[in-house]
C-alpha cells in the first residue's frame, strides 16, 4: 500500500476472468485496496460485470489501465498476452509494476520475447502462479521476479496476495513444479475426496453427507498441518493405534499404490507444465 499521506495504490487488471476477479475480491475484502481504485479491462462486458458488482471501475481499453494504475495484473489467456504487451508497451513507464498471471509464460518471454523487445528494457516484471482456491481466499500462490524487480516489489506483491491465501517467493524454475503440485493438485485432491466419500457411500452413508464429511476432513487436516507446522507423517502416526481402524485402512491404500500414483501425477503435471512453457 502507499505510504501515509501519499496517493493510494491503483490496481489494474488486463483481463477480467475468474482468477482476476478472485484476486481483486481478495484485495478489496482484506482492505488492501479500495474498490474505487481498481480498474479492469476486457474486450466485452461478459466478465466486467463481476468487477462492477465489487464496486470497481471498468474499461474496454487496455492502455487506459496502464495509464491509470501503477500495479497491473495481466490475466489474459497465455496465447493472447504477447499481443496485449505490444499494445500497452508505449504507455509502460518505470513507475509500473507488471505482474503476469498467464500460465506457462516465462519471465524471459515477458521481458524480451523472441519477436523482439516489447516492454521498456528496465520494466519491473513479476510472475505469479495462483490456484483455484484463491476464489475462496485459500489459494496457494508463488511469485518469481524478473531481472529488474527487486525485493521491495516482491515483498509488496507478496503482502498484497496474502489476502487471497498463502503466497511465497520462489526461483522461477519452481513455478512449473507449483503448477503440478498445487494448480493441478486441486483436481488430485478432489479425486481423493470423491473416493473417500464413495467408500462411505459403499458402506451405507447417504451421498450428500458423505461428500460433506470428506471435504471437511480434508479442510480440518490441512488446517492442522499448517497451524501446527507438523510433518504429515507425524499427524498420520498420531491417528494410528495398534490394530486400529486407521492402520488397516492405510495398509489398503499402500496395496493400491496411492503414494506412487500421487507422486507420478505431480511429476506428469509438472513435466507437462514445463513442456507448455517451452512452447
- What is the residue-wise DSSP string for 20-42? HHHHHHHHHHTTSS-GGGEEEE-
Cα–Cα–Cα angle for 249, 252, 257, nearest 5°? Answer: 130
User: Residue 243: left (phi > 0), alpha (psi -120 to 50), or beta?
Assistant: left
CB atoms within 10 A of CB 136: 12
Q: Is 114 annotated as a binding residue?
A: no
Q: Is 77 annotated as a binding residue?
A: yes
CB atoms within 10 A of CB 86: 14
Cα–Cα–Cα angle for 81, 84, 85, nearest 5°? Answer: 85
Q: Is 93 annotated as a binding residue?
A: no
Closest to 235 (Cα-Cα) out of 257, 258, 218, 259: 218
Cα–Cα–Cα angle for 105, 102, 146, nearest 5°? Answer: 55
Q: Is 76 annotated as a binding residue?
A: yes
Pairing type for strands 165-169 and 139-145 reads: parallel
Q: Is 75 annotated as a binding residue?
A: yes
Would you say how long the chain is, in residues? 279
- Element containing residue 218 per DSSP (H, E): helix 207-228
Which amino acids are annotated as binding site, given as ranges?
A: 62, 75-78
Which amino acids are annotated as binding site for NADPH, given as ranges?
A: 62
Which amino acids are annotated as binding site for NADP(+), given as ranges?
A: 75-78
Amino acid at each position: 500500500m502507499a505510504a501515509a499521506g501519499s496517493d493510494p495504490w491503483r490496481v489494474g487488471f488486463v483481463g477480467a476472468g475468474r482468477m482476476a476477479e478472485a484476486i481483486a475480491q481478495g484485495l478489496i475484502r482484506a482492505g488492501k485496496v479500495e474498490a474505487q481504485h481498481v480498474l479492469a479491462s476486457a474486450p466485452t462486458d461478459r466478465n466486467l460485470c463481476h468487477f462492477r458488482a465489487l464496486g470497481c471501475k471498468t474499461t474496454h481499453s487496455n492502455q487506459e489501465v496502464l495509464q491509470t494504475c501503477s500495479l497491473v495484473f495481466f490475466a489474459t489467456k497465455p496465447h493472447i498476452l504477447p499481443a496485449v504487451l505490444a499494445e500497452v508497451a508505449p504507455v509502460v513507464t518505470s513507475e509500473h509494476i507488471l505482474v503476469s498471471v498467464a500460465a506457462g509464460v516465462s519471465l524471459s518471454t515477458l521481458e524480451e520475447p523472441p519477436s523482439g523487445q516489447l516492454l521498456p528494457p528496465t520494466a519491473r516484471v513479476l510472475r505469479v502462479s495462483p490456484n483455484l482456491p484463491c476464489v475462496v481466499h485459500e489459494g496457494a500462490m508463488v511469485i518469481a521476479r524478473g531481472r529488474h524487480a527487486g525485493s521491495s516489489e516482491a515483498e509488496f506483491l507478496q503482502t498484497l496476495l496474502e489476502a487471497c491465501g498463502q503466497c511465497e517467493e520462489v526461483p522461477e524454475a519452481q513455478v512449473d513444479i507449483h503448477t503440478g503440485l498445487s494448480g493441478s493438485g486441486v483436481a488430485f485432491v478432489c479425486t481423493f475426496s470423491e473416493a473417500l466419500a464413495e467408500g462411505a457411500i459403499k458402506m451405507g452413508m447417504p451421498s450428500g453427507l458423505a461428500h460433506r464429511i470428506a471435504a471437511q476432513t480434508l479442510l480440518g487436516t490441512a488446517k492442522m498441518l499448517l497451524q501446527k507446522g507438523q510433518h504429515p507423517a507425524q499427524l498420520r502416526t498420531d491417528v494410528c493405534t495398534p490394530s486400529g481402524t486407521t492402520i488397516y485402512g492405510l495398509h489398503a491404500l499402500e496395496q493400491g499404490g496411492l503414494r506412487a500414483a500421487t507422486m507420478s501425477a505431480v511429476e506428469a503435471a509438472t513435466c507437462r507444465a514445463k513442456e507448455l512453457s517451452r512452447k
